Amino acid sequence: MVADTIIACGKGHVFWGSWVPGASVTTIRLGPRRLGMCKAGRHLSLLRRVDESELTAEQRGALFGAP
């Protein structure tokens, strides 16, 4: 499985993941969002896919490494 999708949690953490519907039995799909584990904060949260263009500078740093 390739982690090629940027995912954000309800607390603003961002991390790389994969967004494959039905891939996890612990996932509950809620329209465009779903409940799952935040890899960055290690907590349960509503997750959503985000486009790279939506990221803040801090989030970019977290994903791509600080300049």
- Applying CB under 5 A, the residues found at the interface with Zn ion are 9, 11, 13, 38, 41
Give 21's contacts (C-beta < 8 A, 6+ positions apart).
29
Tokens of 7: 């995912």
Least distance in Å: CB of 19 to Zn ion? 16
Least distance in Å: CB of 11 to Zn ion? 4
Phi and psi for 36 in degrees, rounded to 5? -165, -175
The CA distance from 30 to 65, in Å, is 31
Q: Is the CB of 12 or the CB of 29 nearer to Zn ion? A: 12
Q: Is the CB of 32 or the CB of 67 nearer to Zn ion? A: 32
Q: Is the CB of 6 or the CB of 38 nearer to Zn ion? A: 38
